[in-house]
Amino acid sequence: MIPAAFDYARPATLEEALGLLTKHGEDAKVLAGGHSLIPAMKLRLSQPKVVVDIGRINELRSIEKRDGKIAIGALTTHYEIESSDLLGLTCPLLPEVAGKIGDVQVRNKGTIGGSCVHADPAGDWPAAMLALDAEFEIAGPGGSRTVAAKDFFIDMLTSTIKPDEILKLIYVPVTTKTAAYVKFAQKASGFAIAGVATVIDKARKNVAIGVTGVAAKAYRAAGAESSLRGSELSAATIATAAQKAADGVDPLSDIHASAEFRAHLACVVAKRALELAASRG
């Protein structure tokens, strides 16, 4: 449980951090909250020669309204999101998700950026990012690029971030209260075995459903969404739609749940999330 030897750098600015990543390439790893990277280093699954600690780069730690959206700095902790009055009013799904992550220590150190970049198949944020159609602003040596949530999560533990890039900001839309996050969690860690984030736009009769924990990467439950598109939300339409929450995906199987049980949980949790969100309207 002791990591391999590494050099440690603590840049004060984003430019400095990007310079270090450009210099060291694949030998370097960004450190944010450390709640995924440090365990991986202790298990020697990750053996960076240089750890670039971005924890003191204050411009990455913010929650503010910008051009009609909410911009969240990558270093914002789960607890800062959970306790944000601004998000409580403008995007209540996010504090709800944050409050269900791990325990107090994890929420105080872990960051939304680190969690999204890590792309753990059981992580909570990807479900919400997909349901909200969030956008990710990524800084690199040649400037910034913006990526939609649907293109950000590539595969198990793989996001679109390259070794010389740093996730800077996440943009989410202002939403109403008709949203919810429900998960069936692993008892010990809190990670999702099945987690469903849903955002209901009653005016447009549109429903977005993000699912995590079930497959190698989080996904939008397209079959369930189209089943509800344009229709009134009722107990019957919700129940029918929720049955499609795992359609077209290849569910994971591990010590926590078989593939069959995970697919079943996806449907049960989707039904609860849809009912809860609908009841908030």
Q: Which residues bind ligand FAD (CB under 6 A)?
A: 29-37, 74, 101-102, 106, 110-111, 113-115, 117-118, 120, 123-125, 161, 166-167, 189-191
CA distance 85 to 65: 12
**b or e along 250-280 (b: 16 or more beta carbons within 10 Å of the residue's beta carbon)?**
ebbeeebbebeebbbbbbbbbbbbbbbbbee
Find the shortest distance in angstroms from Cβ 7 to ligand FAD.
Answer: 15
Cβ distance to ligand FAD smaller for residue 80 or 120: 120
Q: Assess contact for 113 and 81: CB atoms under 8 A.
A: no
Cβ distance to ligand FAD smaller for residue 160 or 231: 160
Find the shortest distance in angstroms from Cβ 233 to ligand FAD.
Answer: 28
Cβ distance to ligand FAD smaller for residue 161 or 228: 161
Cβ distance to ligand FAD smaller for residue 161 or 242: 161
Cβ distance to ligand FAD smaller for residue 45 or 89: 45
Find the shortest distance in angstroms from Cβ 43 to ligand FAD.
Answer: 12
Cβ distance to ligand FAD smaller for residue 125 or 245: 125
Find the shortest distance in angstroms from Cβ 230 to ligand FAD.
Answer: 33
Q: Could you write out the DSSP letters of every residue in the chain? A: --PPP-EEE--SSHHHHHHHHHHHGGGEEEESS-TTHHHHHHTTS---SEEEE-TT-GGGS-EEEETTEEEEETT-BHHHHHT-HHHHHH-THHHHHHTTSS-HHHHHH-BHHHHHHHT-TT-SHHHHHHHTT-EEEEEETTEEEEEEHHHHEEETTEES--TT-EEEEEEEE---S-EEEEEEE-TTT--EEEEEEEEEETTTTEEEEEEESSSSS-EE-HHHHHHHTTS---HHHHHHHHTTTTTT-----SSS--HHHHHHHHHHHHHHHHHHHHHT-
Q: Assess contact for 179 and 156: CB atoms under 8 A.
A: no
Cβ distance to ligand FAD smaller for residue 33 or 251: 33
Find the shortest distance in angstroms from Cβ 277 to ligand FAD.
Answer: 20
Find the shortest distance in angstroms from Cβ 65 to ligand FAD.
Answer: 21
Find the shortest distance in angstroms from Cβ 229 to ligand FAD.
Answer: 29
Cβ distance to ligand FAD smaller for residue 166 or 211: 166
Find the shortest distance in angstroms from Cβ 232 to ligand FAD.
Answer: 33
The tokens describing 263, both together, are: 């697919």
